Structure 1
Amino acid sequence: MGRVSGRSCIVTGAAQGIGRAIGEALLDAGADVCFADINGEKVAGVAEASRQRAEAGGGRVTSAAVDVTDRAQVRAMIAHAVEMFGKLDVKFNNAGVNKPMNFLDVTEDNWNFIMGVNGLGCMIGMQEAARQMIAQGGGGKIVNTASIASRQGFDNVAPYCASKWAVVSLTQSGARDLAKHDITVTGFAPGVVATEMWEEVDRDLMAIGASERPGQAMEEFSADILKGRVATPEDITGTTTFLASRDSDYMTGQIVMIDGGMTLV
């Protein structure tokens, strides 16, 4: 039996990167997993590619297209997962966006876009998951994706930093409110992770003149990592599977740093 055998999980932002790796690791550990993403076609392909993995782990897999800022779509995603798996045990609010701009150039549109997905999307995801967990009884787990940017501000990504500080606050607030329902709320904070999102951020930083060549931003951001290298998505999943498992049942309101020693707090 795997560490999360029999547990029904939803992972948003799961079409690529950290979200996809979280879902795949959960399948390996025996969970039922709904891979969810705004790119419905891409995430459906991820789920299909994971079917053999699910069978090997003893779980089931499905997918859902969702805009995490749209409450009706979030409710529909949860309803789909419950229809497929019978319940919802663990909800990963992992979907996130970034669009670097120099601090003095940040616009209302940039702020609203990033805060909408990373902040409001997390809040809606927590609320609707909790409502389902309360209705079905038996408690549950909500896990939010924060960032090193939730612990330290960076000049070219101010709205992103603010949004990830919001994730920490939402995690603590949710933990306090939902404890009476036996629902735990935790989170994890990755550092520099080699994903498609980082590749896009690298291009954006070049476009605004914050770096001069491909890869420079990652090199500079990762220079102080004590482990001596950037992370892969698979470096994150040992912790995320732990947070989804019974091993973390006495843990709530906490953010686990997974940054190779980049930010010591």
Structure 2
Amino acid sequence: MLLQGKTIVVTGGNSGIGESIVLAAAAEGANVVIDYVAHQDETTALIAKVESVGGRAVGVKADVSRPADLAGMIQKAVDSYGRLDVLINNAGIETRSSLLDTTEADFDKVLAVNLKSAFFATQIAAKQFISQGGGGLIMNISSVHEDWPMPGNIAYCVSKGGMRMLTRTAGVELGNHDIRVVNVAPGAVATPINASTVDDHEKMKALEAAIPLQRMAQPSDIADVVVFLASGGARYMTATTVVVDGGIMQGSVGL
């Protein structure tokens, strides 16, 4: 198993890409801590699913925009499984609003959940890695929109651009501690955040035509890459982004 015995924390881990990461990591032998801020019932059901196939998982309620909650989340991992090996900053939101329409409250909320949380979770996890020894991995679930403008969703793009530079700079700063920092940048993925597109036949037809692989990604397509990056096979990768987009950035402009 690729992740046997590793302890992995997944923020926003009870739905979408996060849920798929939890299941894929547990199937490869990881001990998983599932962070959630709502829908405790879904977290409980996910833990039961992990345990039904012999995996190990616990849930922790933490608002990722609050550093104190993030510290409690990391401590839950250490208390439950003895150490932390991988942090996956997956939690994210968007407002789908333009520069001219975005309110201060909208901007602050998106940046707090998407970027502030990744910054302070990275800081807290790095201190834990240094304290326990042996290095570690911080993985950010970013987006192709860290580099590719998406008019009408500007706060989201700004947050993902920030994650890209966080990854690059933290990866350089933490390398001498044997701590890797890597971004995964998905393209269009069939998750609840994209439900309005998935449920619209014409939108889906146009989107799939723009993707060289001719289909929207499933969450498992992203989770499988995450598992590889968390394994020994990716041990020399840091301060970089791995794009998982079916070729959409090369095949189309302006979606």
TM-score if structure 1 supplies the norm length? 0.90
Give the Cα separation in 2 of the matches to 1:233 and 1:248: 20
**Distance change (3 Å), C-alpha of 1:222 and 1:109:** farther
Q: Which residue of 2 aligns with 1:88?
A: 84
1:228 and 2:224 aligned: no
The amino acid across from 2:51 in the alignment is: R
Any idea what the Cα deviations from partners look like across 1:73-105, whole Å, max 9, x if unmatched? Answer: 111111111111110000000000011113321
Q: Which residue of 1 aligns with 2:134?
A: 138
How far off is 1:3 after superposition? 0.5
Q: Which residue of 1 aligns with 2:96?
A: 100
1:186 and 2:186 aligned: no
Among candidates 239, 243, 246, match of residue 232 of structure 2? 246
Q: Which residue of 1 aligns with 2:108?
A: 112
Any idea what the Cα deviations from partners look like across 1:178-236, whole Å, max 9, x if unmatched? Answer: 11110000011101101111116x59xxxxxxxxx935544444431100010100111
1:1-265 superposed matches below 5 A? 2-39=1-38, 41=40, 42-53=42-53, 55=54, 59-199=55-195, 202=197, 214-264=200-250
Secondary structure of the equivalent of 1:187? strand
Q: In structure 1, list runs of 5 or more residues that go unmatched.
A: 204-212
User: Comparing 132-141 with 31-40, which one deviates more in the overlay?
Assistant: 31-40
Percent same amino acid among aligned pairs?
A: 34
Any idea what the Cα deviations from partners look like across 1:145-193, whole Å, max 9, x if unmatched? Answer: 1101112111110110111011101000110111111000001110110
Secondary structure of the equivalent of 1:97? coil
Secondary structure of the equivalent of 1:264? helix
The root-mean-square deviation of aligned C-alpha atoms, in Å, is: 1.8
Secondary structure of the equivalent of 1:144? strand
Secondary structure of the equivalent of 2:17? helix
Give the Cα separation in 1 of the matches to 2:87 and 2:224: 17
How far off is 1:27 after superposition? 0.6
Instruction: Count the aligned residue pairs.
Output: 250
Q: Which residue of 2 aligns with 1:208?
A: none
Give the Cα separation in 2 of the matches to 1:125 and 1:44: 23
The amino acid across from 1:149 in the alignment is: H
**Distance change (3 Å), C-alpha of 1:147 and 1:222:** farther
Give the Cα separation in 1 of the matches to 2:37 and 2:210: 34
